[in-house]
Chains A and B, each alone.
Chain A
Amino acid sequence: MKQKPNTFSFQTFLHLLLAGLLIFIMVPRAQAASLSTLSDTMTRIKVSQLSNHTLVFTTPTGLTSGQTMVVTFPDGSATGFVGQAGIDYTDVDVLDDGVDVTLAASPTGTTWGAAFSGTYLNTLTLTNGSAAVVAGSIITIRIGLNAATGATGDKQLTNPTSSGSKTVTIGGGTFADNGSIAVPIATDDQVVISATVDPNITFQISSNSASLGTMTTGAVATASDITLTMGTNAISGYTVTIQDEGSGASDGLYKGSAPTRLIDSASASLVAGTEGYGVKGVSGTGSPTITAPYLTGGADQVGALQRTAQSLVSYNGPTGSTNQTATLRVKAAISASTPAGSYADTLTLIMTGTF
């Protein structure tokens, strides 16, 4: 009688063993699902800087009443993420599909609990209230000054002291899902731009002479207009002053040859046949300000010249990309008794920028 080979029974044994092992492995068990679409947007990523965090992720499982979710910022040491002293639920916002949930230190009713723990306050535990978070919900967690719901956040997390990729974990507690987010910590996250604008100022006088011609008692004499051109980037603008030479002691239109004579300068409306002398200003491009008494209304009204510098034109800011202009008009009148001769005067114009 042939003996049945033991190959059959041995192979059967192996198959049974394998099947049993695989069945053991494949027995359905509650397994953590992976969070998806995770991000953590920070306001600063420089080492040791305070920063807000906005974490966003999708939970495939959701949360049931009372489940806890733990957000852990690495690495639980003084050189890792460190919560500011006093950081609490008021520094946190939680949104379920964009809808704020109410937070408190501990859960009650539909209110969630939120609390930081650990020596370095780097672990945030969120405890759901009585309302379920449905599967597939998008959870947003704001931490820091960006927590605006309810009390406004006033505490943040300080970034680690060393640069590199740091991994924030979400999960733990009784939350069925988990996930991780890496955030970059950089040596620096800012570039400081600097620039200098040098001060500039320009001043031009269209002519250095103004002839009143031969003055008569029949008319007020007027010299050709002189154009003043001003440009500056002085932040407070500029002032153009006018100073009269006169006789060297008194202002006016002066006849230096004997017998000397000074036609005094005074603010007045000149009248033919009456001695008088002065200037008037007219604003031009850029509308600079003509200072009284040179800002005159009448055609022959003039302002008095003085031996000390008097403001003639001014502007209270930079002149812009286009220079400003003003017109200086010199006028004089004589009487029948005004001695014959040559009269002269020198007007000194000074522009000063106020930077």
Chain B
Amino acid sequence: MPTAYAAVIGNPKDTLSREAVSQAGNHVIQFVTPSGVANGNTITLTFETGFNIASVVTGDVTVEGAAVTSATPSSQTLTITCAASNVVAASGTVDIVISNNHITNPGSAGDYTVIIGGSFGDTGAIAVPILTSDRISVSGDIGFSITFSLSTTSCALNTLTTGSVASCGPFYFTVGTTAGSGYTVTVQDQGNGSSPGLYKGSTAAKLIATSNQALVAGTTEGYGIQAAIRTSTPTIPAKFTVGGTTVAGLLRTADTIASSTGATTANHEVNVTPRASINAGTPAGSYGDTLTFLATGNF
């Protein structure tokens, strides 16, 4: 008398959404059924000890993309009762999806088995790996870079007169960086070595002081700079972004003139315009000053 053998499923696989120990996840189980699945058949999925399937409910399970009649966990076995919409023809592929993260992985790493059986008549097993960790923290560094340049190294105000406020430039600086927290560009004034300003060093020395002020030709002895965006989106403190004959005072300490809070997608350029005015009593002679610009990346 011939012995009835259960057919062995083909191409079984169980795709887990997470394979890390103790992680809750979903399972997508697929296999080829030699016998087919009929309406009312059960498919049992027996998860190896360690898996916790107690939270699975009927609504978590679909077969062939359709809801099942029932899905009932008991100990390590989930029994799925198929409805008419779950029918699979002989040699067809069965797709079982268990969603909503209701199956928790074992607490120890290793190779675990899911055994497939049930009244539909076929049997088989699938091995799944459970890992200490299934995720790799990926980090990367964009090359550390910062560049800075000045469009010129000199700016001549030429002969100052009482008839107008003198200016030169604008010259500009260019800064670009990959620093995630952006950059800071500072300007520092040489002045006479102890006080900022436009300085006549020859005897008798004279310093045209610098401050935030509106210069008036012939009346105000004063000096300072203006700054404005040339390209892109640098942040410039308000005291520098003045117009007309108003200027920002310079400092003997490094004073932020431009900055960004993130890497520059394109180089930032900032125009700088020095301005000065004198009155009739401003001593004759040659005046000079040195502005030092420094860029610092905030990595």
Contact = CB atoms under 8 A, between A and B. Distances in A.
A196 B286 CA distance: 4
B218 interface: yes
B154 interface: yes
A190 B146 contact: no
B157 A198 contact: no
Contact of B297 (A43, A182, A194): A182
A30 interface: no
Interface stretch (A32-40, A150-158, A207-215, A261-269): A32-40
Interface in A156-209: 163-165, 167, 179-184, 186-200
B224 to A, nearest CB: 11
Contacts of A181: 144, 297, 299
Interface string A1-33: 010110110011001101100110111000000
A193 B198 contact: yes
3 tightest A-B CB contacts, nearest first? A19-B129, A321-B279, A320-B281
B5 to A, nearest CB: 6
Q: Chain B binding site: helix, strand, loop or mixed by DSSP?
A: strand
A37 B148 CA distance: 20
A351 to B, nearest CB: 15
B290 A193 contact: yes
A199 B127 CA distance: 97
A184 B293 contact: no
Nearest to B144: A182
A179 B292 contact: no
A287 interface: no
B154 A198 contact: no
Contacts of A285: none
A186 B293 CA distance: 10
Nearest to A324: B281
A165 B146 contact: yes
A165 B263 CA distance: 14
Given A15-B111, A180-B299, A198-B159, A188 B129 contact: no
A44 to B, nearest CB: 7
A200 B282 CA distance: 9
Interface string B188-232: 000000000010100110100000000000110100000000000
Given A182-B179, A321-B279, A192 B289 contact: yes
Contacts of B8: 2, 4-5
A68 B239 CA distance: 45
B123 to A, nearest CB: 10
A45 B150 contact: no
B287 A42 contact: no
Given A165-B145, A193-B274, A233-B282, A43 B131 contact: no
Given A193-B155, A193-B288, A320 B280 contact: yes
A220 interface: no
A8 B125 contact: yes
A192 B198 CA distance: 11
A199 B284 contact: yes
A23 B297 CA distance: 39
B290 A40 contact: no
Contact of B175 (A184, A231, A355): A184
B299 A165 contact: no
Nearest to B148: A184
Contacts of B200: 197
Contacts of A333: none
Given A34-B139, A232-B281, 15 more contacts: A19-B129, A43-B294, A45-B295, A165-B147, A181-B299, A188-B150, A190-B290, A191-B154, A191-B171, A196-B158, A233-B283, A236-B204, A318-B281, A318-B283, A321-B218
B69 interface: no
Contact of A182 (B128, B132, B171, B178): B178
B131 A233 contact: no
19 contacts: A11-B12, A15-B111, A34-B139, A38-B299, A40-B297, A41-B294, A42-B296, A43-B294, A167-B144, A181-B144, A183-B296, A190-B291, A191-B272, A193-B288, A194-B287, A196-B159, A233-B281, A233-B282, A233-B284
B158 A164 contact: no
A18 B294 CA distance: 53
B276 to A, nearest CB: 6
Contacts of B138: none
A189 B155 contact: no
A11 B128 CA distance: 9
